[in-house]
Copies of this chain bind each other. A is one copy, B any other.
């Protein structure tokens, strides 16, 4: 069944700059602080943020069953809990209100006054309260690169990797929106000559180019989600920079996995692009061999053609250091969610699941400095002539992502994060 909001011929009465990530076919969801210091749920078309709380109060959603305060909240969790049918109805209705020939709002200056904001007068917030955050490790190229560097080039993938989407629990309290700076973390590192561990600011701070999906309430405790239903419980996606301190990680991670090397910060783009909006960009994922167990087996196309890039911005220049694509992921989101719940684990509205670093097959499609500089051996030269093996103080790392076909472009905007020097340094 076609989704009306995805109609490629649709135009809007709002101005949309050429190559905008936010045409009327996107209609992402986010949370922002208005010029009046009010937190509200909103969407974005072109460079306008739209206050859905105000629209709802003015009666524009009267034909959709919604509680009065559903958009007057500081997170999207309750809206997401309302389920796929409601998200679709709201997104379709927004598309209708802003369609070029619709005059309901277009000619109401008094309404537009309270509904529309320019992007530069609002402040984007974290869009959801993240109950639990899980990070997967689902790019075969990334897992192979890491295994080659740190273990055994001839057996780079561990035996379980091709049979299940390896994942681990992460820290949700330190997931921050684009624009919030990150401090270089302190921590212990592997002992040198004297046998004592090192201590101090991490010397090997890295980004990880990832995407993350946000779920709705999906199951009762003890009940797995079937893989062929899993996408119904995915609200949408964001760009995800999983900051990592490689030297801290190396020392701490056995036997229970990464901990403080990751939990100092992860940054996300603030607009959640719905799975519905991504539908036209659905594509196949890499062929899986060996065939997965039945609970992970799924036919059809379950990946998305999302072009990704990473820029490192210094005072003097901005340099694109990587271009990758979400479609390289070996394990799909549906498989990740089915695997996550096969043991009965409960998934709630606002949970976030990261893809793991998305590396592609080419030397310029690697999703971390660890891989781009091959563990520091091959420095990357920036456009200002300086070199990087890892991220330096005051560098800003920017991830961008968008889908494009002959009809239109749908994007995620960016997640931009500056690395500040360690406290006291």
- Interfacial residues, chain A to chain B (CB-CB below 8 A): 131-132, 134, 137, 158-160, 163-164, 166-174, 176, 180, 182-183, 185-188, 191, 196-197, 199, 221-224, 245, 248, 251-261, 263-265, 290, 293, 295, 339-340, 342-348, 351, 420, 423
Docked-complex contact B163 and A295, CB < 8 angstroms:
no
Check A169–B263 contact: CB distance below 8 A: yes
Q: Is the CB of A343 within 8 A of B185?
A: yes
A188 near B168: Cβ-Cβ < 8 Å: no
Q: A166-B256, A252-B160, A254-B160 in contact; A293/B173 too (CB < 8 A)?
A: no
A345 in contact with B174 (CB, 8 Å) = yes
Chain B residue at smallest Cβ distance from A257: B257
Known: A251-B160, A348-B173. A167 touches B199 (CB 8 A): no
A163 to B196, CA, bound (A): 9
Contact B263 A185 (CB under 8 A): no
Residue from the set A167, A191, A255, A293 with the largest chain B CB neighbour count within 10 Å: A255
Residue of B nearest to A351 (CB): B173
Are B221 and A174 neighbours in the complex by a CB distance under 8 Å? yes
Dominant secondary structure at the A interface: loop
Assess the A137–B256 pair: CB atoms within 8 A: yes
Q: How far is the CA of A221 from the CA of B420 in the complex (A)?
A: 13
Q: Please, which residues of chain B bring their CB within 8 A of the CB of A345?
A: 171, 173-174, 260, 263-264
**Sample (12) of A-B pairs whose CB atoms are under 8 Å apart:** A132-B172, A164-B197, A164-B252, A169-B259, A186-B343, A186-B344, A221-B265, A255-B257, A261-B343, A263-B340, A263-B345, A264-B344
Partner of A171, one of B160, B169, B255, B260: B169
Residue from the set A131, A158, A160, A167 with the largest chain B CB neighbour count within 10 Å: A160
Which of A131, A159, A256 is most buried by chain B, counting CB atoms within 10 A of its CB?
Answer: A256
Task: Determine if A176 and B251 form an interchain contact, defined as CB atoms under 8 angstroms apart.
Answer: no
Q: Which residues of B contact A245 (CB under 8 A)?
A: 343
Q: Give the top 5 A-B pairs by smallest Cβ distance, nearest first.
A: A257-B257, A185-B343, A168-B256, A183-B222, A169-B169
With a cutoff of 8 Å between Cβ atoms, the chain B residues found around residue A223 in the complex are 423
CB pair B166–A423 under 8 Å, yes or no, is no
